[in-house]
């Protein structure tokens, strides 16, 4: 709908989404070399200091050349939430616009993208006793049975939360046990204000899933070569980081922790980490297919030019 002459157009923002190992970061850097953008990370693991190799975090040299917002903002002992991300991202976007830049949000944490666009319903904190009870139940029952439990008390939430996402399953059960209401009821009461930006939504994802599967394995092997084991060993050597913390439950880190605790072999660690990353990519594709008004960039050879055309068209139409 055309803007009235008496209203200022909303500022432009770019959302660059995609599955892990799809080439989002490289595309974002290429765009940053050609457009007045500021990069804002949308990655629930890159927020943690010291989680570098296993999160494919941009190197200090790259960050010095092209600053990235919302990386290295949290100690691994902390739990970073989608609600906190939304607050941080909105502040970073506002600062970018004030500096004459276009916010370019890049990453693969789809829950964060949804929180940014749709908001989050305020949820109660779980009592420590309830959380401890559910943690013990998860260890006894396993992920599949915990998801079945959720389905009996909140079918709508169970339909939206993948069985292989134990943190979100447990959080949904925490809400139910704490309030007596299903999480889905809290979702329905959420009435977030519209995001005050014009969005160009891009999805970076190879058309051939086999390419992505191979790239995931190659990238994890490269992480091992780059010193991923030593990185995780250094984190554990701090002595204050529980394996149950969100930082150490990130894909790759969880498997490396199990290996360093002599629970699995090095071969099992490698295969389990690769398998878990591929499962993550599948979940990301599920989220992405539900995203509205996205332009899919599925050919690496043309992705940059296609992205530039779409962004420049948005700039030319209404200005930055």
Tell me: is residue 18 an annotated ligand-binding position: yes
Beta sheet of 102-107, edge-to-edge order = 68-69, 37-42, 102-107, 12-17, 198-204, 294-297
Is 144 one of the annotated binding-site residues?
Answer: no
The end-to-end CA distance of the chain, in Å, is 17
Q: How far apart are CA 254 and CA 54, in angstroms?
A: 11
Q: Containing H/E element for 291? A: none
Q: According to the annotation, is 193 in a ligand binding site?
A: no
Q: Is 24 annotated as a binding residue?
A: yes
CA 3 vs. chain centroid, Å, equals: 33
CA-CA distance, 52 to 39, in Å (whole number)?
17
Cβ atoms of 47 and 70 closer than 8 Å: yes
Name the DSSP class of 310: H
Residue 246 DSSP class: G
| 30-61: b (≥16 Cβ within 10 Å) or e | ebbeebebbbbbbbbbbbbebbbbbbbbbeee
142 annotated to bind ligand: no
**258 annotated among ligand-binding-site residues:** no
* DSSP structure string for 40-89: EEE-TTTTBTT--GGGTPPPHHHHHHS-EETSS-B-TTS---HHHHHHHH
**Residues that constitute the known binding site for ATP:** 18-25
**Residues that constitute the known binding site for substrate:** 20-25
**Residues that constitute the known binding site:** 18-25
């Amino acid at each position: 709908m055309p803007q009235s002459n008496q209203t200022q157009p909303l500022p432009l923002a770019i959302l660059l989404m995609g599955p892990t190992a799809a080439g989002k970061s490289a595309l974002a850097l290429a765009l940053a070399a050609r457009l007045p953008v500021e990069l804002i990370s949308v990655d629930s693991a890159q927020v943690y200091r010291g989680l570098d190799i296993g999160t494919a975090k941009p190197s200090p040299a790259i960050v010095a050349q092209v600053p990235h917002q919302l990386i290295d903002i949290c100690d691994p002992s902390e739990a970073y939430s989608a609600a906190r991300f939304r607050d941080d991202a909105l502040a970073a976007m506002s600062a970018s616009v004030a500096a004459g830049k276009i916010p370019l949000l890049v990453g693969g944490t789809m829950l964060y993208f949804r929180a940014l666009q749709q908001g989050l319903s305020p949820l109660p904190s779980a009592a420590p006793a309830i959380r401890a009870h559910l943690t013990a139940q998860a260890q006894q029952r396993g992920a599949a049975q915990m998801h079945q439990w959720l389905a009996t008390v909140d079918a709508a939430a169970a339909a939206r939360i993948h069985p292989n996402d134990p943190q979100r399953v447990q959080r949904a059960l925490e809400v139910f046990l704490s309030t007596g209401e299903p999480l889905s009821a809290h979702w329905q009461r959420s009435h977030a204000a519209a995001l005050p930006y014009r969005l160009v939504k891009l999805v970076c994802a190879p058309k051939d899933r086999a390419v992505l599967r191979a790239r995931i394995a190659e990238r994890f092997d490269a992480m091992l070569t780059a010193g991923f084991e030593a990185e995780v060993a250094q984190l554990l050597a701090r002595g204050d980081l529980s394996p149950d913390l969100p930082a150490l439950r990130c894909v790759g880190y969880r498997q490396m922790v199990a290996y360093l605790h002599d629970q699995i072999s090095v071969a099992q660690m490698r295969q389990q980490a690769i398998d878990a990353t591929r499962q993550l990519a599948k979940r990301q594709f599920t989220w992405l297919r539900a995203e509205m008004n996205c332009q899919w960039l599925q050919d690496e050879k043309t992705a940059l030019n296609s992205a530039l055309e779409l962004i420049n068209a948005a700039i030319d139409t209404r200005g930055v």
